Amino acid sequence: MGRRGFTVVELAVSMATTGVLLAMGYGAFRQYAEAATARKASLQLAGDVSLTRSFAIQRRESVSLVADEANRNYVIRDTTGTVLMQRNFGAGSDLPLTSVAVSTAGDSLTFNSRGLLLGGRAEVALGRRGRSHVVEINALGRTKID
C-alpha cells in the first residue's frame, strides 16, 4: 500500500518558490502604491485649484492658493489673510509626498474676482519617492495632470 502526502523536499521547494514570488510581488505592489499616492495627490490639488477659483468668483475678490514647499502643504486664503482651507501632504498626512514644487514666483496661485489666474499659467509638481506628476493650470483655472 502506497503512502499519500508530500515529502519534506517537495514542501521546501514549494515554500521557497512561494517566497520568491511574494518578494517579487511586494516590489511591484510598492511601486504601484507610490505612483498611486502621487496621482491621488495630483487629483486633490487639481480639485483645490478649482475650489480656489470658485472662492474668488463667489467672494468677488482675489483668492490665493499659497504653498509651503518645505513642509509640503498649502492653504487657500483671501486678500485679508483669512484661511479658507488647508491641505497637508507632509509625513503625517493620508497622502504623504516627498516633494511639492510650484513654478510661480512666491509659490502661490492667485485668482482674481473674475476667476482668472494672475500670471497666465502655472505648474505644480508633486512627487513621491521618484514618482511625480505635474499639474498644469491655465489662465482660466483648467487643470491638466501629466
pLDDT value at position 2?
65
Report the distance separating Cα 45 and Cα 127, nearest Å.
12
Q: Compute the average pLDDT of residues 27-48.
A: 88
> What's the pLDDT score for residue 1?
59
Within 10 angstroms of residue 53's Cβ, the number of other Cβ atoms is 24
Cell of 42: 495630483
- Answer whether residue 132 shows pLDDT above 90: no
Q: 92 is written with which cell numbers?
A: 503625517
Rounded to an integer, the average pLDDT of 57-86 is 95
10 Å CB burial of residue 40 (0-12, 13-18, 19+) is: middle
- Residues 78-130 pLDDT 10s: 999 999 999 999 888 889 999 999 998 788 999 999 999 999 899 999 998 87
Mind listing the pLDDT tens digit for each residue in 15-37?
Answer: 999 999 988 888 888 888 878 88
Assigned C-alpha cell, 55: 472662492
* 8 Å CB contact between 67 and 48: no
Q: Report d(CA 100, CA 64) in Å as an integer.
A: 17
Confidence of residue 44 (pLDDT cuts 50, 70, 90): very high
Q: Given this model, what pLDDT does residue 140 score? A: 94
Eight-class DSSP state of 70:
T
Confidence of residue 50 (pLDDT cuts 50, 70, 90): very high
